[in-house]
Amino acid sequence: MSIASTQKKGFGAILWDYLTTVDHKKIGNMYLACGAFFFILGGIEALIIRIQLIKPENDFISAGLYNEMITMHGTTMIFFAAMPMLLGFMNAIMPLQIGARDVAFPFLNSLGFWLFFLGGILMNLSWFLGGAPDAGWTAYAPLSTQSPGHGMDFYVMGLQLSGAGTLMGGINFLVTIVTMRGPGMTYMRMPLFSWTTFIASILILFAFPAFTVALFLLQFDRMFGSAFFDIALGGNSIIWQHLFWIFGHPEVYILILPAFGIFSEIFATFSKKRLFGYTSMVFATFLIAFLGFMVWAHHMFTVGLGPVANSIFAVGTMAIAVPTGIKIFNWLATMWGGNIRMSASMLWALGFIPSFTIGGMTGVMLGASTADFQYHDTYFVIAHFHYVIVGGVVFGILAGLQYWWPKMFGKVLHEGMGKIAFWLFFIGFHLTFFIQHFLGLMGMPRRYWVFLENQGLDTGNLISTIGAFFMAAGSIVFVINIIYTHTKAEKATNDPWGSGRTLEWAISSPAPEYNFKQLPLVRGLDPYWIEKMDGNDKMTPAEPVNDIHMPNGSILPLVITIGFFIASLGFIYQVDNKAWLIVLFTGMVIAIGSMLIRSLKDDHGHHIHKEDLEKEAD
Amino acid sequence: MSQDFSLNPEIQDPAKATHEGKNKYIGLWFFLGGETVLFASLFATYLSLRNSTAGGPSSQDLFGLELVFVMTILLLTSSLTSVYAIYHMKNHDFKKMQLWFGITALLGLGFLGFEIYEFTHYITDYGFTFRSSAFGSAFYTLVGFHGGHVVFGLSWLIALMVRNAKRGLSLYNAPKYNTFAIYWHFIDVVWVFIFTVVYLMGMVS
């Protein structure tokens, strides 16, 4: 940062810088910005759903548009809002936490980002090109193969692009953590957010390919006339459900584990205590990830897999409550006897514990396979997964924004406004979703466009809609806070919370381009805290000042992605007119051609020289 | 001022001598972990649809072990020749490495030729296509994904060999050759499973 930012740059130069950057911090910022954009889109879709359900037999939107809204709300929030924002934190923070100067594959990192972003754009283009996907975010066959128009084609291609991007991100983080931990940073000294990044990346690696295959099968059925889900030709639509949930269940742990990591950092920092049960936290995370692969069929209890299969998956599902319970108690014990400071990010973390625990409890209820026949596809399920995903993941993302904002953007978000945003969102969240448990138990099915009056559902739905507007208000206060902070606030110090424990707080805010002028020597868990306790105000360097090797920026990741984007449009429209095959091949030539250029052109990177480094302050 | 990528005789394994080389090596192994799940999903799909012939030809009608035997031998041998190539890379003998990789590419092309022949044979002689039954869709998708991986691997290898033909071995390109070789072994292993699950099991059941 500091070398570049001393020279004033024009808008064009800044734009070009971001389009070509391979710096993990800038990519992290872009992930966050684009994730926030999609979060707002998904939020507006949620509000439209709630307005439609504000009263019985409402006709705010048509039934078809309602189907598009629920599909796009779910898909956008999971794939284009929650995941990218978490990947943004992983990019921006994890290398700093483990004492690395960069990620292992900076070029791949940039490619992963662009694939995610253009995948999201592609899918949302469907709004303007004849209608959005409308078969639900789970896209069950044969509904998804029979859905008319091109909506589901955009779903397939959009997710295929962004899924490939996420897979690249996962591999990149894994290799970064395996090979690039700084001097003294052993695995069992890694901060918990880095640990959860590592384990979530393992989940990404083993879960996403199953989804890739599912999407290919759907793509082939819709676009090339294959018969995977066509019963008449011997197909079997349950294959989709299995493949989708073999991916889909680990996916919720891909979302929640990094959020757990964020909360672990916040609890330790604002309790001024070492995280209680660090080792058990790491093993609990592993156990959750492992069990997460064994329970996909609990989404399919009513399919008819038989009592033996249902029982096994029920037991597996309930077993996950054990490691999760370990984590909850470890967080409580971290605060026990700690010197607690009620900052805005700590409020989010505190709000998370009861909210997530309620979601976990309803999870165990849903895991009881016999009872699930009653809950299946009702608002009880909606309430359950919003309690874990909003109460866990979204709280985690907002807490992480509040906590790491100074490290990422150099300014401390206003605490008072942060707290107002929390309270509005927290109250709104429980108002929206708590009542939905009861709506579900009273038999209100999910995904229905309208409900009838005088069935005891009127008041509950009204309350739920009011709650949604509170959440919107909380989000708006959060955005105002960001704008306010960037016009008013002072530049943040290295360690704005005063009780930072991990390596990222030992360097300037925001971090310089090369992260660490000299790689720090890590002497234990919470290395910066150890130095502070020994009376040092900074880390002990593990090397003399030397030339730092940096990767070169490149426009190729964007060009490759644009190629695949064009090819996707070709795939979608060649069904109508074979002339679109030209578009398909053009896109593929652009994409594969740029990959070939990347492979054949030597790129040795560049160095930041010792003399320039010595001129800079720490 | 760029890094020094030239070989010196003390380097044992040029593929893993640099930090970037190690990253590529470990990254490829993780990637193959993901690929395993990809093929496992395709195998599972195939296994559940392999008897769904919708009145069309079944696996017993179609498969002939002679052809598949030749294909298997070609691909397994190509894996062996890539091992020789890597052996010569570790001895810093660029010419012999290129030679053995060239043989690998020829064997791979031979395999691909037989596969294209096999597919056209099924389509023209039996009317067994991607669209004719769920079995057809599953068969062409599983075997076709493997074939696609072979095409990608061959393009990768040929691009590497042409690009570096006049430059010789360096610490910059050695990791690229090495990751290709591991990828090629993986494709070979997948074929062993296809040979067993698709062809052998298709002949007996």
What DSSP designation does A57 have?
Answer: T
pLDDT surpasses 70 at A2:
no
Q: Using CA atoms, how far apart are residues A468 and A38, in angstroms rounded to an integer? A: 17
pLDDT of residue A8: 65
Q: Using CA atoms, how far apart are residues A459 and A442, in angstroms rounded to an integer? A: 13
pLDDT surpasses 80 at A464:
yes
Q: Using CA atoms, how far apart are residues A599 and A602, in angstroms rounded to an integer? A: 8
Which of A426, A565, A586, A604 has the alpha carbon at shortest distance from A125?
A: A565
Give tens-digit pLDDT for A155-214: 999 999 999 999 999 999 999 999 999 999 999 999 999 999 999 999 999 999 999 999
Which of A5, A252, A245, A261 has the alpha carbon at shortest distance from A140?
A: A245
* In-domain check, residue A591: yes
pLDDT of residue A610: 86
Q: Using CA atoms, how far apart are residues A446 and A437, in angstroms rounded to an integer? A: 12
The verdict on A562 and A550 lying in the same domain is no
* In-domain check, residue B56: no
Q: Which of A104, A221, A236 sits opposite B23 (nearest CB)?
A: A104
pLDDT of residue A617: 58
The verdict on A225 and A262 lying in the same domain is yes
Provide the shortest C-alpha distance from residue B134 to chain A (in Å): 5
Q: Residue A3's pLDDT band (boundaries 50, 70, 90)?
A: very low
pLDDT of residue A5: 47
Q: Phi-psi region for residue A311, left (φ > 0), alpha (ψ -120 to 50) or beta?
A: alpha
What DSSP designation does A378 have?
Answer: B
pLDDT of residue B161: 96
Give the chain B residue whose CA is nearest to the CA of A108: B27
Q: Which residues of A touch B149 (CB under 8 A)?
A: none
Give tens-digit pLDDT for A338-394: 999 999 999 999 999 999 999 999 999 999 999 999 999 999 999 999 999 999 999
pLDDT surpasses 90 at A615:
no
Nearest 5°: the CA angle A156, A161, A166 is 120
| Angle, helix A192-224 to helix A238-271, in steps of 10 degrees | 160
Average pLDDT (A277-295) is 96
The verdict on A238 and A352 lying in the same domain is yes
Q: What is the CATH number of the domain that holds B128?
A: 1.20.120.80
Give the chain A residue whose CA is nearest to the CA of B161: A600
The string of DSSP codes covering A122-137 is HHHHTTTTT----STT
Provide the shortest C-alpha distance from residue A598 to chain B (in Å): 12
Q: Using CA atoms, how far apart are residues A156 and A160, in angstroms rounded to an integer? A: 6
Structure tokens at A189: 């000294």
The verdict on A429 and A564 lying in the same domain is no
A262 touches A400 (CB < 8 A):
yes
A298 touches A317 (CB < 8 A):
yes
Q: Using CA atoms, how far apart are residues A122 and A405, in angstroms rounded to an integer? A: 29
Q: Using CA atoms, how far apart are residues A352 and A248, in angstroms rounded to an integer? A: 23
pLDDT of residue B3: 63
Q: Using CA atoms, how far apart are residues A471 and A47, in angstroms rounded to an integer? A: 10
* In-domain check, residue B113: yes
* In-domain check, residue A312: yes
The total number of residues written for chain B in this structure: 205
* In-domain check, residue A1: no
Domain ranges, residue A563: 555-602
The verdict on A76 and A200 lying in the same domain is yes
pLDDT of residue A614: 78
The verdict on A575 and A489 lying in the same domain is no
The verdict on A228 and A151 lying in the same domain is yes
Q: Using CA atoms, how far apart are residues A556 and A111, in angstroms rounded to an integer? A: 8
The verdict on A408 and A477 lying in the same domain is yes
* In-domain check, residue B1: no
* In-domain check, residue A205: yes
Domain count, chain B: 1
- Regions of chain B with pLDDT less than 70: 1-3, 205
pLDDT of residue B17: 86
* In-domain check, residue A299: yes
Q: Decide if the complex's ipTM is over 0.90.
A: yes
pLDDT surpasses 50 at A4:
no
* In-domain check, residue A4: no
pLDDT of residue A301: 96
Q: Which residues of B touch A246 (CB under 8 A)?
A: 41
pLDDT surpasses 70 at A6:
no
Average pLDDT (A130-153) is 94
The verdict on A288 and A298 lying in the same domain is yes
Provide the shortest C-alpha distance from residue B113 to chain A (in Å): 23
Give chain A's mean pLDDT.
Answer: 95
Give the chain B residue whose CA is nearest to the CA of A209: B38
Give tens-digit pLDDT for A8-47: 678 899 999 999 999 999 999 999 999 999 999 999 999 9
Domain count, chain A: 2
The verdict on A511 and A567 lying in the same domain is no
The verdict on A417 and A560 lying in the same domain is no
Domain ranges, residue B124: 14-50+61-204
Tally of CB atoms within 10 A around A364: 14
* In-domain check, residue A3: no
Q: Which residues 208-227 in chain A show a CB within 8 A of chain B?
A: 208-210, 212-214, 216-217, 220-221, 224-227
Q: What is the CATH number of the domain that holds A21?
A: 1.20.210.10
